Amino acid sequence: MKTIKATLTGLSLAVSLAATANIAQAAEDTIKVGVLHSLSGTMAISETTLKDTVLMMIEKQNKEGGLLGKKLEPVVVDPASNWPLFAEKARELLVKEEVDVIFGSWTSVSRKSVLPVLEELNGLMFYPVQYEGEESSKNVFYTGAAPNQQAIPAVDYLMSEAGGSVERFVLAGTDYVYPRTTNKILESYLQSKGVAEKDIMINYTPFGHSDWQTIVADIKKFGNAGKKTAVISTVNGDANVPFYKELGNQGISAEDIPVIAFSVGEEELSGIDTAPLVGHLAAWNYFMSAESEVNDEFIDTWQTFIKDEERVTNDPMEATYIGFNMWAKAVEKAGSTEVDAVRDAIYGVTVPNLTGGTAVMNTNHHLTKPVLIGEIQDDGQFEIVWETSGGVIGDAWTDFLPESAKIIADWTSPVKCGNYSLETGVCSGQKYE
């Protein structure tokens, strides 16, 4: 009996060791890609699509042979629109799952929650959403718009004759980092353009805000002062649905008070009756209606992957597409998924964008991107009514705040710093040795 028991014990141990070895071998044969997007909570309306975009890109890359002879393996987590949970889930991805890269976050507060974890563990994240700038981390590549690639051009458009020669501005945002910092930049910029303080109204609401009746009434009253008025909206997430519905309820048309949004794209409009919203605007670097062969191919691939011919595409999806392709290209160039090697390899990398041009990764970790203004149509799409003549290099530190105008980001020699003062010659934060 003892001999039989010992034999069985030995077999069990051998099977266990073999299974462990097989798991270890499987891990060595794959490249793990972390996906850090809210699949529940107030931001799920926007972020779930980006999770699916990453999965689509992984599937496509695997069909083309993977990277470095290995298949890509997605590891998806749900931080559930809970900002501290983003940090916890990022740590889980880097420490427990040992992912080679993370694609994720939407709000700036979620990104800032993740940032210390990335910097502590030397993780790598591609962040695909427009943001307020005033940051450049060696561990993050920002593939969404900086303020000079969205907010500033949007104001310039509104103040132009084509945009209605607007003189009064409502800065309406969700109450967190991105809207507050962006509006601080915009307030300074508007005043530099001669807009009086009394002609700027600022309002913030919490995430998921649903009762817009009083606020929209205040906007309507502010717009009845005899000067052309527009709303610049940094309202984020599912609060946009009742906001736009209330604009329609109170009869605010684009001719009366146009709204130009920085966080509303095709995905957000897909759940709204857009008939009362025709003519309102959005500023992005991509719209689904962009005419290019690469965009047509992207839309077909997306709708096939998601098994829905009615599903739309949007700007953060393009930013995810660009970021993923740049990472893959840098991995092949470096011959490694090691973070420092990929970082050094990615500077100057170019990939096609979806509007028919080329995206470039600059040494401040921001892209060169075109800027587009789109007008809402009754089918929920945007007609592109204005665009820059070429790409605009993302500026990590705005020229329109005195304390930021003297700071640059450059992660190559000799600076190797994300917040280097031209005035003092000192790097006041993280430095890349």
179 domain-assigned: yes
- pLDDT of the residue at 8: 46
Range in 22-36, 203-217, 244-258, 377-391 the model is least confident about: 22-36
**Residue 17: pLDDT band by 50, 70, 90 thresholds?**
very low
**Residue range of the domain that includes 302:** 26-146+296-369
User: What's the confidence (pLDDT) of residue 268?
Assistant: 84
Coil, helix or strand at residue 86: helix
Q: Are 415 and 430 in contact (CB under 8 A)?
A: no
**Among 322, 337, 369, residue at a domain's last position:** 369
Residues 197 and 324 occupy one common structural domain: no
Per-residue pLDDT, averaged over 39-45, amounts to 94
pLDDT greater than 60 at residue 10: no
Which contiguous run of DSSP H or E holds residue 24?
helix 2-28
Is residue 407 domain-resident?
no
Q: What is the pLDDT of residue 237?
A: 85
What is the enclosing helix (H) or strand (E) of 402?
helix 402-405
Is 5 part of a structural domain of the chain?
Answer: no
Q: Looking at the DSSP assignment, which residues form a beta bridge with residue 104? A: 36
Residue 7 pLDDT > 80, yes or no? no
Domain count across the chain: 2
Q: Are residues 381 and 258 in the same domain?
A: yes
Q: pLDDT by residue (tens digit) across 293-311? A: 999 999 999 999 999 999 9
Higher per-residue confidence, 118 vs 19: 118
Residue 188 lies in a domain: yes
Report the C-alpha gap between 85 and 93 in whole angstroms. Answer: 12
Q: Say if residue 99 is in the same domain as residue 139.
A: yes
- 173 pLDDT above the threshold of 50: yes
Task: For residues 95 and 213, state if they share a domain.
Answer: no
Q: Is the residue at 326 inside a domain?
A: yes
What average pLDDT does the segment 5-24 reach? 47
- Same domain, yes or no: 328 and 277: no
Kindly tell me if the per-residue pLDDT of 14 is higher than 80: no
Strand pairing category for 125-127 and 101-104: parallel
Contact assessment for residue 182 and residue 173, using Cβ atoms and an 8 Å cutoff: yes
For residue 89, the one-letter residue type is K
pLDDT-derived band at 20 (thresholds 50, 70, 90) equals: very low
Arithmetic mean of pLDDT, 70-79: 98
| 25 pLDDT more than 50 | no
- Given this model, what pLDDT does residue 428 score? 87
Tell me how far apart the alpha carbons of residues 366 and 269 are, in angstroms, rounded to a whole number: 27
Are 270 and 218 in the same domain? Answer: yes
Return the C-alpha torsion angle 37, 42, 46, 48, nearest 10: 40
Whether 160 and 273 share a structural domain? yes
Could you tell me if 125 and 92 lie in one domain?
yes
Both 102 and 197 in a single domain? no
Residues 201 and 259 in one domain: yes
Residue at 319 is within a domain:
yes
Percentage with pLDDT > 70 across the chain: 93
Question: What would the pLDDT profile of 119-131 be if each residue is shown by its tens digit?
Answer: 999 999 999 999 9
> What is residue 81's three-state secondary structure?
coil
Output the six-digit token pair for 179: 């809207």
pLDDT tens per residue across span 338-367: 999 999 999 999 999 999 999 999 999 999
Q: Are residues 228 and 101 in the same domain?
A: no
DSSP-assigned states of every residue in 106-154: -SHHHHHHHHHHHHHHT--EEE-S--------TTEEE-S--GGGTHHHH
Would you say residue 356 lies in a domain? yes
Nearest 5°: phi and psi at 336? Answer: -165, 155
The answer to whether residues 313 and 198 belong to one domain is no
Query: In the predicted model, is pLDDT for residue 145 greater than 70?
Result: yes
- Domain holding 363: CATH number? 3.40.50.2300
